Chains A and B, each alone.
Chain A
Amino acid sequence: MKELSLHILDIVQNSLRAGASLVQIMVTIDTRQDFLRLKIEDNGCGMTEDFLQQVTDPFTTTRTTRKVGLGIPLLKEAAERTGGHFIIQSQVGVGTMVEANFVYRHIDCMPLGDMASTMMILIQGSPEVDFIYEYSFNERSFLLKTAELREILQHVPLDEPQVLKWIHDFVQENEGLVREGNVNENN
């Protein structure tokens, strides 16, 4: 993967396949403590303890089609390559939490990349799922909650193209504002 936002897109596909109705995505960048943290939490089916042990091993999958370079081992490796660390916790019937910590200024730390496109595509594919996306940069942050958008939109579905475009631009603009330390307090 070339961007962390692509890893996020991939990891969230696991949550969706696990039947999650709520997926929370958190990106936290702290330039002073020099870390970037991705955290993805879902309320999907979860995994047993035994299975969880194997999941960071690239030869584990419940899918029947085979391939190398599975999502979780790839993200773990990407984090560890920067001197960071990786945590996965899961409970059957409760959900799963994946956390990848990167050393932000390490040469191998990939750029976050296009989170606006990742969010837009997740919502396009699963408009019924509640997504929460939180982006923090030092002490500033912004939040996108699809449940709130759905309430505003009423009869208009979240996967309506004009709405998807709005979401894309909204995420892009707000990330920019948060990075510049200039949050739009009205949102």
Chain B
Amino acid sequence: MKTIEELKAIRENMSDTLAMRNNAEGSIRVVVGMATCGISAGARPVLQTLAQEINKRHLKNVKLVQTGCIGICRLEPIVEVYIGNEKTTYVKMTPEKALRVVNDHLVNRQVVTEFTIGAAE
């Protein structure tokens, strides 16, 4: 059973600096489209998987953000990855594909070409 005591324990175990570091602006931005088309195509579990995996792998330099409509409904859920001035657009995402993107792209810096918009069109 989740209790308020547990929440207090999280607070006590996390120093100010750690909390600040965890919340720092990352050098990698991962953007998930969360408009109607994205949500109905399955963006929620994709976002959830990304959040869990980024946390599990302690990727402190990654900022995960939600946005509105990216504009290509039939290719939703869409996830964009920004590293430096390089942008990669992943389409028709699933939780399984999201795991691959975290591992290959965010950790190993290898674009998963087969999931990109270029491969889909």
Interface residues of A (CB under 8 A from B): 1-2, 6, 9-10, 13, 17, 63, 65, 67-71, 74, 114, 117-118, 120-121, 124-125, 149, 152-157, 159-164, 166, 169-170, 173, 184, 186-187
A10 vs B33: C-alpha distance in the bound complex, in angstroms? 11
Determine if A159 and B10 form an interchain contact, defined as CB atoms under 8 angstroms apart.
no
- 8 Å CB contact of A160 from B10, B37, B48: B10
A153 vs B4: C-alpha distance in the bound complex, in angstroms? 10
Write 26 A-B pairs (CB below 8 A) sorted by A numbering: A6-B40, A13-B34, A13-B68, A63-B68, A67-B36, A67-B37, A67-B69, A69-B40, A71-B35, A71-B36, A114-B44, A121-B48, A124-B51, A125-B34, A125-B65, A153-B11, A155-B14, A156-B10, A156-B11, A156-B19, A157-B23, A159-B23, A162-B10, A163-B10, A164-B51, A187-B3
Closest to B23 in A: A157
Determine if A17 and B11 form an interchain contact, defined as CB atoms under 8 angstroms apart.
no
Q: For chains A and B in complex, what number of residue pairs have CB atoms within 8 angstroms?
A: 101
Q: Which of B2, B8, B66 has the most CB of A within 10 A?
A: B2
Determine if A65 and B23 form an interchain contact, defined as CB atoms under 8 angstroms apart.
no
Interface residues of B (CB under 8 A from A): 1-4, 6-8, 10-11, 14, 16, 19-20, 22-23, 34-37, 39-40, 44-45, 47-48, 51-52, 55, 64-66, 68-69, 71, 73
A164 vs B48: C-alpha distance in the bound complex, in angstroms? 10
A10 with B7, Cβ < 8 A, contacts A125-B34, A155-B19, A157-B23 known: no
